[in-house]
Amino acid sequence: MTLVPAPATPAQPAPAASVTVGTEAVTFADVVAVARHYAPIVLDPAALDGVAATRAIIDALASDPHPHYGISTGFGALATTYITADRRAQLQASLVRSHAAGSGPEVEREVVRALMLLRLSTLMTGRTGVRPHIAETYAAVLNAGITPVVREYGSLGCSGDLAPLAHCALAIMGEGEVRDAAGSLMSAGVALAAAGITPVVLAEKEGLALINGTDGMLGMLVLALADLAMLLQTADIAAAMSVEALLGTDATFAADLQALRPQLGQGVSASNLRALLAGSPLLASHAGPEDPTVQDAYSLRCAPQVNGAARDTADHAALIAGRELSSAVDNPVVTLDGRIESNGNFHGAPVGYVLDFLAIAAADVASMSERRTDRHLDASRNKGLPPFLAHEVGVDSGLMIAQYTAAGIVSELKRLAVPASVDSIVSSAMQEDHVSMGWHAARKLRRSIDGLGRVLAIEIMTAARSLDLRAPLVPGAATDAVRRLVRTVADGPGHDRFLSPEIEGVVGLVQCGAVRDSAAGVTGGLR
């Protein structure tokens, strides 16, 4: 499964409220607002004064006859090569040009915008040594809706996301390719001229400061966490619909039972399930001593344990992401007392690990969802529903192959759950001899989240049909709201028809948050 890049951008949404970038860390909400909703950026004047003060330190060192890495030396394995003052502008430009070496499909626009915001945030800490003009130009490019073309491959996640950031740095130099606000591909020079932005000429340290950070992998982590927060609530909705349609019980979700194992995410998920199933006539129809079911299958009974564990994983990832948002990642860095020090803070291991961890969680939530979908279709386990929920058994196949689609995605998600961060490959003549592969962990997580949404959509579509087939019994208000929403894009039971458009329709409802919102509107919110 591969995310399809969307190089041409449709009409942009109305801009969100402005985001101020200064010495304080940008927030998760700021990243989403700028990346997805084109929120305008305002630079804090006091922070710009701090940037200028730090730049004065760099200017003073530029005339020092002793070499200083990134100011008067080459880079990486060439760090011992002294560069004379008359060649340093060329050094910085050459660094950016040579490092803008990406290959493959274009990276999604929202990822590039998130990456750029995070690099700008680091520049505004005053720890990188750039001139204020560099930060102002970077902000102007974002505010103009100009998005540098960044390619899929090029980052090893150590020395940060070098190639992706270099493509962005190249754009503010007026070089390379970009997409304008309308999504049209053009040279950066043309786009900047049309927006009234003057390309920058880099001075000492600035090329290095523009490309040395974990911003790409961190931006994708923040966006993934926003998506997962919604999808895990949707996973609870899907589980509730299946419990109801498969004549399960909500007794196992009782608060006192959940409290015996006080895992935080599990408690949240069980609380959602109780709210979603409250007052369900379908559940009431078979509740009581006469119900022959001793206990439901794991995919129904243990939904809070799996969905909850995924929440706890996301909470841990958010803790790491929050720390990274508060970081000033560059090498060398200007310390608070004015020293220029080399360091290893650009290594992407902290971010790479949690990106991989989230891919594991996404795969497992999807795996449980697919098992519930299969249960709906199996006449030996679905408690009286027709095989494959077919209208005319034998003539119709019902949702048989929709489950195949879900199964194929789950299989792919399991492959994507193999960690990228345990790999390393030597680069830069053995100077950079251990790398994080955090960018690759982030890229596969984006595919995992896309797949999770699709698997949940197939379960929700299947459960909606099962609920229809339980008539005259009716579901509870929250799950019925979702069933009715599904019916706006997918027809109910009937003879076989072209299923792919219906699946894609429900996927759209899941991924935009409409399914979550329809249920939450009845329950008064979900956690």
Q: 41 with 21: CB under 8 angstroms?
A: yes
Q: What is the CA radius of gyration of the chain?
A: 26
Q: Quote the tokens at residue 510.
A: 């899941």
Query: Which two three-digit tokens encode residue 281?
Result: 């006539």
* Beta bridge partner(s), residue 148: 178
CA-based torsion, 278, 281, 283, 289: positive or negative: positive
Give yes or no for a contact between 438 and 354, defined as CB atoms under 8 angstroms apart. no
What span, in angstroms and rounded, lies between the C-alpha atoms of 234 and 272?
Answer: 10
Contact indicator for 149, 141 with CB cutoff of 8 Å: no
Contact 406, 507 (CB under 8 A): no
Backbone angles phi, psi at 19, to 5 degrees: -115, 125
Q: Which two tokens stand for residue 358?
A: 């989230």
Q: Are 361 and 313 in contact (CB under 8 A)?
A: yes
Q: Cα–Cα distances in Å, from 24 out to 20, 27, 137, 403? A: 9, 9, 20, 48
Which is nearest to 273 in space by CA: 256, 251, 289, 293? 251
Distance between CA atoms of residues 455 and 232, nearest Å: 12
The per-residue DSSP string of 362-393 comes to: HHHHHHHHHHHHHHHH-TTTTTSPPGGG-SSB
Quote the CA–CA distance of 321 and 225 in Å, as a whole number.
Answer: 9
Burial of residue 95, with CB atoms counted within 10 A of its CB: 0-12 exposed, 13-18 middle, 19 or more buried: buried
- Could you give the residue numbers annotated as active site? 69
- Cα–Cα distances in angstroms (integers) from residue 303 to residues 253, 291, 309, 494, in the given order: 9, 21, 10, 30
3-state SS class at 397: coil
| DSSP state, residue 278 | T
HSE-CB at 290 with a 13 A cutoff on CA atoms is 5
Compute how many other C-beta atoms are within 10 angstroms of the C-beta atom of residue 112. 25
Q: What totals of helices (H) and strands (E) does the chain contain, helices first?
A: 20, 9
CA angle 159, 164, 166 (to 5 degrees): 75
Q: Which of 161, 185, 187, 189 is nearest to 173 (CA)?
A: 189
